[in-house]
Amino acid sequence: MVVGIYQLVIGNYQLVVGIYQLVIDIYQLAVGNYQLVIGNDQGVIGIYQLVMGIYQLAVGIYQLVVGIYQLVIDIYQLVIEILQSVIEICQLAVEILQLAIGFLQLVIEFLHLAVEVFRLTFEVLHISIYFDILFIFRFVFGKIYSPCGISIARRKNIKPPEYDQFPIKSKMMLNAFSVDVEDYYQVGAFAGMISPKDWGLWESRVVANTRKILDILDSNPKPVSGTFFVLGWIAERFPDLVREIANRGHEIASHGFMHQLVYEMTEAEFRNDVRRTRLLLQEQSGQSVIGYRAPSFSIVKRTPWAHRILVEEGYCYDSSVFPIHHDLHGNADAPLEIHDITTESGMIREFPPAVVRRFGQNLPTGGGGYFRFFPYFVTAHWLRSINISGKPFVFYIHPWELDPKQPQIPKAPLKSRFRHYLNLHRTELRLKCLLNDFNFVPVRNILKLETS
């Protein structure tokens, strides 16, 4: 029994030892597992630290890329600013160059103007000795008069002379009086600034100014009738004006339709222009339109076909060939007096604007800007010399020349402004003197042409 108990104790002891061994094994397994886990954690931490290092490297690379990008942007902006500065400098240089060119053009225009004024002044100073002595004598004795004696009479507070006292009257010879009916914005001097398509945008003053001329002609001591060369564009918009001119006893003639220079048109364009205008004016006036005057007297040497087309379109006379040197028109070699021009289609009569021959030069004295430039006594003296030679002259004027309050054309060249605005305030008085000092009739009467 004791042995059994001993063996039982020994068996239990071995069981406990076995259990202890099992526990030890489990502990060792746990320690092994713990060590394995600890080792794995260190690997994970290493991997984590490696990933963090790579991440930080990527962040560094990103920041480097961002820095490079910012640098590129800054360089780009700097380049843009430099280019903008260069462009501004170039624009400033262009503006300075344009100003310099404008200044040079102004100087050139001034020099041209000075030359023209000097030339015309020189011619004025060389008129006949008779007038030099006469006017110096009258000035010394306080009896010198400007046109009709008005302006100096006012300064001297004396009574102007009667018309019959004016020393250059023409009593016998008949001359032709003409009006180019166009508005102030249609003149050739402003053609480069105002396009025909913009004419309708400007204030029209042609009706009132033309009526002013009609009233002056009617109120003359001996009423005057003349020839009105009407622009087709004006006639189309103001047909009552054409009828009024005709009803008040004046001849209606053609001034073209759109105020185009003849030498800038083709033959077909010119034919259409003069045909269209003639038909319109005949319908409105009830007259047979037989006369033509080119805008800016632009029938010149390089338009030999113009007179032939005029004959073919029913015109009997022309007053377009100005026998002078001019930058826009003129044919200094053309005859100064009335003459016939033979074409392939027939003959047409030419009545040039008034010109006098002085010092080997043809000097214009037939109206327009020349009428406003020269003192009236010079114009009257030269026109009188034409009549003394036994020849009539044709005088021309524009309605806008009696309108000193007309709108100013902005940015017009100095030369154009001088030509257009010079002495507008004197034109009406000079015109009244002219109408009193000479006898005038329509062009057709001088040429003895019928309009029926």
Round the average pLDDT of the chain to a whole number and report it: 83
Look at residue 346 in the predicted model and tell me its pLDDT. Answer: 97
What is the arithmetic mean of pLDDT over 418-434?
A: 94
Could you tell me which residue, 451 or 279, shows the higher pLDDT? 279
Look at residue 172 in the predicted model and tell me its pLDDT. Answer: 76
Residue 92 one-letter amino acid: L
Q: Is the pLDDT of residue 298 over 60?
A: yes
The 3-class secondary structure across the chain, one letter per residue, is CHHHHHHHHHHHHHHHHHHHHHHHHHHHHHHHHHHHHHHHHHHHHHHHHHHHHHHHHHHHHHHHHHHHHHHHHHHHHHHHHHHHHHHHHHHHHHHHHHHHHHHHHHHHHHHHHHHHHHHHHHHHHCCCHHHHHHHHHHHHCCCCCCHHHHHHHHHHCCCCCCHHHCCCCCCCCEEEEEEEECCHHHCHHHCCCCCHHHHHHCCCCHHHHHHHHHHHHHHCCCCCCCEEEECHHHHHHCHHHHHHHHHCCCEEEECCCCCCCHHHCCHHHHHHHHHHHHHHHHHHHCCCCCEECCHHHCCCCCCCCHHHHHHHCCCCEECCCCCCCCCCCCCCCCCCCCEEEEECCEEEEECCCCEEEECCEEEECCEHHHHHHCCHHHHHHHHHHHHHCCCCCEEEECHHHHCCCCCCCCCCCHHHHHHHHCCHHHHHHHHHHHHHHCEEECHHHHHCCCCC
Look at residue 152 in the predicted model and tell me its pLDDT. Answer: 39
Look at residue 169 in the predicted model and tell me its pLDDT. Answer: 42
Q: Is the pLDDT of residue 332 over 70?
A: yes
Question: Where is average pLDDT lowest: 12-16, 141-145, 171-175?
Answer: 141-145
Look at residue 149 in the predicted model and tell me its pLDDT. Answer: 44
Question: Residues 242, 274: contact at Cβ < 8 Å?
Answer: no
Look at residue 93 in the predicted model and tell me its pLDDT. Answer: 85
Question: Could you read off the pLDDT of 113-154 as tens digits, one per residue?
Answer: 666 666 555 544 444 444 444 444 444 444 434 445 444 344
Instruction: Report CA-CA distances (Å) from 331 to 266, 270, 326, 336, 362.
Output: 20, 19, 8, 10, 10
Q: Is the pLDDT of residue 8 over 90?
A: no
Question: Where is average pLDDT lowest: 81-90, 193-202, 324-333, 425-434?
Answer: 324-333
Question: Where is average pLDDT lowest: 34-38, 333-337, 352-356, 357-361?
Answer: 34-38
176-447, CATH topology level: TIM Barrel (3.20.20)
Q: How confident is the model at residue 46 (pLDDT cuts 50, 70, 90)?
A: confident
Q: Is the pLDDT of residue 426 over 80?
A: yes
Q: Is the pLDDT of residue 5 over 80?
A: no
Rg, Å, the chain Cα set: 50
Question: Where is average pLDDT lowest: 31-40, 63-72, 249-258, 341-350?
Answer: 31-40
Q: Is the pLDDT of residue 157 over 50?
A: no
Q: Is the pLDDT of residue 368 over 80?
A: yes
Question: Where is average pLDDT lowest: 64-73, 92-101, 148-157?
Answer: 148-157
Q: Is the pLDDT of residue 80 over 70?
A: yes
